Amino acid sequence: MSVGEEEPGEEIGSRRRADAESSEDSLRTGSSKLPKLSLGMRVVAFILGWGLVLVGVAGLALPGIQGVLTLLAGTAVLSVVSETV
């Protein structure tokens, strides 16, 4: 094999390293593949998320409301709105 040629397995490994480095860079810079929500959608999702969390907390004490599932749904909606997640 001459200098500068890579074995077939090395090409895949170098491609994986490049993909891992680019994903680490995107995590550090906070860029994501999802488009940012408009301000109106962020406000609606924020209110909906906190409403679901409050209903979930009430559901922990009241019969007939699934408290844990509602809490999980509320935190899922809030994670979409959050800039740090």
| One domain, residues 26 and 52 | no
User: Which pLDDT tens digit goes with each residue over 3-58?
Assistant: 555 555 555 656 666 555 555 555 555 555 667 888 999 999 999 999 999 999 99
Check whether residue 59 and residue 77 sit in a common domain: yes
Q: Do 10 and 43 have their domain in common? A: no
* pTM of the predicted model over 0.75: no
Q: How far is CA 59 from the centre of its chain?
A: 26
Q: Which of 65, 38, 36, 37 is nearest to 51 (CA)?
A: 65
Q: Are 74 and 59 in contact (CB under 8 A)?
A: no
Q: Which residue segment(s) compose the domain that 41 sits in?
A: 34-85
- Do 10 and 44 have their domain in common? no
Q: Residue 20 has what pLDDT?
A: 57
Domain count for the chain? 2
